[in-house]
Chains A and B, each alone.
Chain A
């Protein structure tokens, strides 16, 4: 049994044992998604606070569904409707949520490090559902689960990541996770999104601006969404991106024939990915979504359902209990 997981703030902070354990624990929940009746009572009476300070559809629904299938209730905070619009600070907002006594808080925020900041202020477990351009740990876990399912292993693979690496929290988490298992990385995209510092994140990371070269011998290809809001700095014409970096069938042939194609979504067909590739046999896009539920159920189960008795809390804000 690996070290107890109090928060999930980043993949970087996890031990290899914790990652393997989380993936193993996700297995039964993967099978569970095929049940006709998808409701457990495991977390009945528990509450999961979903604090999404940045607009999100799939991750929020995935966490909400995971909580609901475990029998937990959810509290929902969405950026558009929240008191943030009225100028309340992040700290005051999460303290208010905390005062309603949820058992854990799931945070999505546009500022890198916001979940770390919150975890330092609250006593309940904090799960990072994506923070700025830092990390998206549950995405990396579901990516790893998807690859392991199809390939039987996540060890020593050639992984190619294509797109805006600099601003991608998905790329960072995937790198931290898969590097633990000996994967070799090729990062590919326009040069200004491909800083050399990424080579320091893993022992075997190389960069190339040529997609043909990047795909050579790849076992898994992670296509990142083109964040059009990033295109302004400096403006890169969309057509130029499609011409140079779209994953299309001809380019895909350079990878291994059984290479997997992953995309964290939302996917824009015809921009970063060609529709035939997105719908082709190598695409794992929909499995990723299903596996996301399994990973998040396992995580919630382990963090609040299996929380050890008498786990010490620091300077409890619930002292009046």
Chain B
């Protein structure tokens, strides 16, 4: 029996915001209730208590978009290191994109990812299967078999689903299976060899830029195919105002569409780009106007989820000329801190922010996420006020490619619980670090 005592329970699924205790039995939540008198003793000797006074107890965070790199890219990340970083960022479940080597386009790769996650993962891993074989944009992947093996959605992420015709086939097929399609929306011809967003900054730096329409053209295509087929469609890492407006209008018309926004896109803009590949990702950092639109979308409900697009790359791959570096930045450990910046700035309510990490992404996946008896005991405990500094070299990820190294945060993850198991405790980590310092001095 585990008891989370005296925390402020915020559960967007039910609108709850109250000080309560949460009892966990095994891997499920047993009871949620008013706190007992302060200092009350454990009801049984086996009851372990987590003191959550001053903390917020939220449903377990879900990341809809991450690259764990295993199999094939283990020098950049593994399921073990990636989910440890995710847990450190407050996430309890991570959707793993299929662009591994080999690509997750068949049930045996899906099963091996799930086996590895069960053996070494700190968080749950929900694999996303490829839409097309090898994500090459030709024939369909073994979608039905992967669904039986446990995928939660399909995507050719890393690249767009190649043609409107293929997308139509994928969506027809997935609608029948009850699976959602996630697309990396990008028009490849307009993208060209771009390395950042086109604008004043790209002209100044002499870097090849792509316009916002590169994304929104593809969003428009996908929304129309979604309407045609009735298939659930989700826009990955939406970055442009025009795309957001398309999704907003589509939702109003009843098209089954949703979208996610990354912390780097709602925090930075193309004006922040310097000749450092830690600022290179795809879609690239957008204009200030786009960023302002994303903030509105996060607040008004157009955006369904905050997703990290955690994309680790080992140092040698990023320590090159800007235009030769691969796209992508890490994101698990800074996501909550960056989202809390929006709360502190008055851009988002705390309830809404938590929704974007919990019931929002759960809804996208057709799941529920709530703090209630009988639900899986996945919980994220966070603080909104402790000051801390993110140091990339202390990250649990194997990679360091983040534009937020050294950033100072107010509030962040404190305890992460997955299936009743504490997989991350900030206080324990701090104590360990303290001991290490004591030993070396």
Contact = CB atoms under 8 A, between A and B. Distances in A.
Interface of A: 12, 89-91, 109, 111-114, 116-117, 131-135, 166, 169, 172, 195, 197-198, 200-201, 233
Interface string B295-334: 0000000000000000000001001111110000000000
Given A91-B320, A117-B320, 6 more contacts: A113-B275, A116-B274, A169-B206, A172-B204, A197-B204, A201-B203
B321 A117 contact: yes
By CB atoms of chain B within 10 A, which of A195, A198, A201 has the most? A195
B321 A134 contact: no
By CB atoms of chain A within 10 A, which of B319, B321, B323 has the most? B321
B207 A112 contact: yes
Contacts of B192: 233
Main secondary structure of the interface of B (DSSP, over half): loop
Contacts of B202: 197
B206 A172 contact: yes
A197 B200 contact: yes
A114 B205 CA distance: 11
B284 to A, nearest CB: 15
A131 B206 contact: yes
A197 B274 CA distance: 17
B199 interface: yes
Contacts of B200: 197, 200
B323 A89 contact: no
Given A91-B320, A111-B324, A112-B275, A134 B205 contact: yes
A91 B206 CA distance: 21
Given A166-B203, A197-B200, A91 B319 contact: yes
Main secondary structure of the interface of A (DSSP, over half): mixed
B203 A198 contact: yes
A197 B203 contact: yes
Nearest to A118: B321
A50 B440 CA distance: 45
A4 to B, nearest CB: 22
Contacts of B324: 111
A134 B203 CA distance: 8
B320 A112 contact: no
A201 B207 contact: no
A135 B275 CA distance: 13
A116 B205 CA distance: 11
B322 A117 contact: yes
B275 A133 contact: no
A186 to B, nearest CB: 17
B204 A132 contact: no
A12 B275 CA distance: 14
B319 A112 contact: no
Interface string B179-205: 000000000000010000011101111
Contact of B205 (A113, A166, A198, A200): A113
Contacts of B320: 89-91, 117
7 contacts: A91-B320, A111-B323, A114-B275, A117-B320, A169-B206, A195-B198, A197-B200
Nearest to B195: A112
Contact of A132 (B199, B206, B316, B319): B206
A89 B315 CA distance: 12
Contacts of B275: 112-114, 116-117
Q: Across the A-B interface, give the 3 residue pairs with the lowest CB-CB distance, nearest first.
A: A113-B275, A134-B206, A111-B321
A131 to B, nearest CB: 7
Interface string B190-226: 0010000011101111111000000000000000000
Nearest to B208: A133
By CB atoms of chain B within 10 A, which of A112, A114, A134, A201 has the most? A112
A113 B207 contact: yes
Interface string B241-279: 000000000000000000000000000000000111000
Contacts of A109: 321
Contacts of B203: 166, 195, 197-198, 200-201
Contact of B206 (A90, A133, A200, A233): A133
A112 B198 CA distance: 15
Nearest to A112: B206
A135 B316 contact: no
Contacts of B206: 112-113, 131-135, 169, 172
Given A113-B207, A116-B275, A134-B205, A90 B321 contact: yes
A111 B319 contact: no
A90 B192 CA distance: 24
Nearest to B201: A197
A126 B203 CA distance: 23
Given A112-B275, A116-B275, A233-B192, A201 B321 contact: no
Nearest to A113: B275
Contacts of B321: 90, 109, 111, 113-114, 117
Nearest to B199: A197
A111 B322 CA distance: 7
Contact of B204 (A90, A114, A201, A233): A201
Contacts of B198: 195
Nearest to A109: B321
A130 to B, nearest CB: 11
Nearest to B316: A89
A89 B205 contact: no
A54 to B, nearest CB: 11
A166 B205 CA distance: 11
Contacts of B316: 89
